[in-house]
């Protein structure tokens, strides 16, 4: 059976996360039900990562097997037709090798956590970012983030419900970008623990507000205790931005300024 790689975009708010669940409606279920309109034999669609409830994606990757061969453009168009009532779309579809695996072949995953810092409430971007009214010290946040880059035990920054066998991960990159009212925390690693990105974002918010010193991030890391973590940032600001499958990774082991500061108040 030919195998296909799908690149997906979805708004996480209506869903209980990526995974099909008995007590909620997941993105996986929406996509599988749409694909079965084309090929009833499809049993399961596998994704690169299981995003949580309310988390968005602009570059999620999944794979599936179909009975017949499709041109990528035609497959994406056909699936999107049956997704038209959902907040999920197929951006791209392409035939891949029969042994391609969206999860296990991934070389790196990019996440973006979006903060909008302003006094006025959000209208257009409500539900798409963490709204904070108080100013944030971006330089202090970058100093704090530097303590998390590299190979560490991230017990402090993972959910108590995390099912990963080990809390030890290598965080290749953290970039903090600021443009006007937008502050983005960009992270890259081969894999992440459950709630790791949101825990890091919430901790760096404490640093940005001056509640924590940058060095306290290192203390929290070394504590290897969930109780030492800052608050978990809301799901609405988190995006699975991109999944890489090639062998070339650049900028490892760095904290980046990202975009230049442009005077956000």
Alpha-carbon distance values, 77 to 18, 58, 88, 165 (Å):
21, 17, 13, 39
Q: Is 162 helix (H, G, I), strand (E, B) or coil?
A: coil
Alpha-carbon distance values, 257 to 14, 40, 135, 188 (Å):
33, 48, 17, 15
Active-site entry in 52, 105, 137, 261: 52
Q: How far apart are CA 74 and CA 79, in angstroms?
A: 9
And the tokens for 17? 């996360």
| Catalytic annotation present for 52 | yes
- C-alpha neighbours within 13 Å on the C-beta side of residue 69: 5
Q: How far apart are CA 16 and CA 43, in angstroms?
A: 20
As a dihedral over the C-alpha atoms of residue 64, residue 62, residue 92, residue 76, rounded to 10 degrees, the angle is 40
Contact 86, 8 (CB under 8 A): no
Shortest CA distance to 156 belongs to which of 207, 222, 226? 226
Shortest CA distance to 82 belongs to which of 32, 13, 20? 32
Neighbours of 257 (CB within 10 A): 13
Residue numbers annotated as active site: 52
């Amino acid at each position: 059976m030919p195998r296909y790689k799908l690149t997906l975009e979805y708004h996480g708010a209506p869903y209980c996360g990526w995974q099909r669940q008995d007590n909620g409606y997941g993105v996986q279920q929406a996509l599988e039900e749409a694909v079965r309109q084309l090929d009833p034999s499809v049993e399961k669609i596998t994704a690169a990562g299981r995003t949580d409830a309310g988390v968005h994606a602009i570059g999620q990757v999944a794979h599936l097997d179909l009975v017949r061969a499709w041109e990528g453009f035609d497959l994406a168009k056909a699936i999107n037709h049956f997704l038209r009532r959902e907040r999920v779309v197929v951006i791209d579809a392409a035939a891949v090798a029969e042994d391609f695996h969206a999860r296990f072949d991934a070389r790196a995953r990019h996440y973006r956590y979006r903060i909008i810092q302003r006094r006025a409430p959000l209208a257009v971007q409500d539900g798409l970012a963490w709204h904070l009214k108080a100013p944030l010290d971006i330089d202090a946040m970058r100093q704090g983030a530097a303590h998390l880059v590299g190979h560490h035990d991230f017990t402090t920054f993972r959910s108590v419900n995390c099912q990963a066998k080990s809390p030890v991960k290598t965080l290749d990159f953290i970039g903090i970008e600021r443009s006007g009212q937008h502050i983005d925390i960009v992270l890259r690693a081969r894999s992440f623990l459950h709630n790791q990105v949101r825990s890091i974002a919430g901790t760096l918010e404490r640093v940005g507000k001056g509640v924590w010193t940058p060095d306290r991030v290192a203390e929290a890391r070394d504590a290897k205790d969930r109780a030492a973590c800052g608050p978990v940032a809301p799901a609405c600001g988190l995006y699975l931005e991109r999944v890489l499958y090639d062998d070339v990774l650049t900028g490892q082991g760095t904290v980046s300024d990202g975009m230049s500061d442009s005077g956000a108040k």
